[in-house]
Amino acid sequence: MLGVSAKHGPSGPRFTAVGRPRRGYYWTQQGTQVAEGQVLEWLSEYIASSDGPAYGYRKLTTWLRREHQVIINKKSVYRVLAEAHLLQGRRFSAAADRPVRRLAANRVVTGPNQLWETDLKYAYVTGQDRFFYLCSVMDVFDRSILSYHIGWTCTAEQALRALQRAVAQRQPHWAPGVAPVIRTDNGPQFTAQVWAAGVEAWGLVHERIPHATPNRNAHIESWHSVLEAECLGNQVFHTLAEAYEAIARWITFYNERRMHGSLQDWPPAQFYTWALKGMAPPIPPVRC
């Protein structure tokens, strides 16, 4: 049922219809739900590839249907792109309108605060029939989740605030002038000017993985799988507040108590504390 809201004018209140929040997901040909944010991420990644810039929203609709089997019409694709300022001829009309893209380099990580990975995951609130966003920041060496954002939306500003909290937590521990590299995919949050400006202001180096290479962000992708198996996949959320509480509780458990196989079965927080003191059990360098 549609609700109403009252707006007061000179002659008394005026009532206007207030609709439900937008559904925020689409169906695939296999009958599974896909979050609108995931669809936007696929589009953004493809547009950033060597092939994508050649196409407008009509051909991008065809690409979505063929590549990801999403049941979606061209009007919906137009709206999603327009809201993200990714319509061809607008966002990509001038090179100066977008940050310079630095491709992810092959790296050997030998200690904390050298390489961080950031990525989004989409999860579902059954009671409200909506997907929400989880944006997390992970240190690749000690596998700690440094910060995260949970909400119905995840803008560049919201992702940047999560990164800012990670910087505030870890900055006292890194040597002056030796800031971490932050690695992301090509999602719209990470190709926005506001993200680039914030990263630059903190002295971080931002690199983006090539299109269709999620293995270059493998550590946080692996963490998403563990999160799904141990937290998201075994319970039903009726509200976003329930989901937030459950995820926050699980992340605390993961950081502080869960044994991690890559850290000789020590929790990330304990391993990081030892690493700062030069007392961490030896582990192989992380190659990524």
- Average pLDDT of 22-34? 92
Q: Which domains does the chain have, with CATH numbers?
A: 3-96 (no CATH), 108-287 (3.30.420.10)
pTM of the full structure: 0.87
Of the pLDDT bands very low, low, confident and very high (cuts 50, 70, 90), residue 177 is confident
Quick check: 10 pLDDT over 60?
no
- Average pLDDT of 88-102? 55
Of the pLDDT bands very low, low, confident and very high (cuts 50, 70, 90), residue 89 is low
3-state SS assignment for residue 89 = coil
Of the pLDDT bands very low, low, confident and very high (cuts 50, 70, 90), residue 21 is low
Tell me what pLDDT residue 202 has: 92
Nearest to 269 by CA among 143, 150, 110, 177: 143
Tell me what pLDDT residue 19 has: 47
Nearest to 198 by CA among 185, 214, 173, 179: 179
Pairing label, strands 181-184, 205-208 = parallel
Tell me what pLDDT residue 213 has: 83
Of the pLDDT bands very low, low, confident and very high (cuts 50, 70, 90), residue 193 is very high
**Percent of the chain scoring above 90 in pLDDT:** 76
- Average pLDDT of 4-11? 37
CA 107 to chain centre: 22
- Average pLDDT of 258-273? 98
Nearest to 224 by CA among 85, 125, 140, 122: 122
Tell me what pLDDT residue 52 has: 82
Residue pLDDT, tens place only, 203-248? 999 999 988 788 889 999 999 999 999 999 999 999 999 999 999 9
Gyration radius (Cα) of the chain, Å: 21
Tell me the CA distances in angstroms from 55 to 63, 87, 97, 101, 118, one per residue in order: 10, 10, 18, 20, 28
3-state SS assignment for residue 207 = strand
- Average pLDDT of 96-121? 86
Of the pLDDT bands very low, low, confident and very high (cuts 50, 70, 90), residue 96 is very low
- Rounded to an integer, what distance in angstroms lies between the CA atom of residue 166 and that of residue 144? 10
Q: What are phi and psi of 169, to 5 degrees?
A: -70, -40
Of the pLDDT bands very low, low, confident and very high (cuts 50, 70, 90), residue 182 is very high
- Average pLDDT of 67-76? 97
Of the pLDDT bands very low, low, confident and very high (cuts 50, 70, 90), residue 99 is low
Tell me what pLDDT residue 98 has: 59
Whether the CB-CB separation of 140 and 119 falls below 8 Å is answered with no
Quick check: 94 pLDDT over 70?
no
- Rounded to an integer, what distance in angstroms lies between the CA atom of residue 85 and that of residue 233? 33
- How does the average pLDDT of the chain come out, rounded? 89
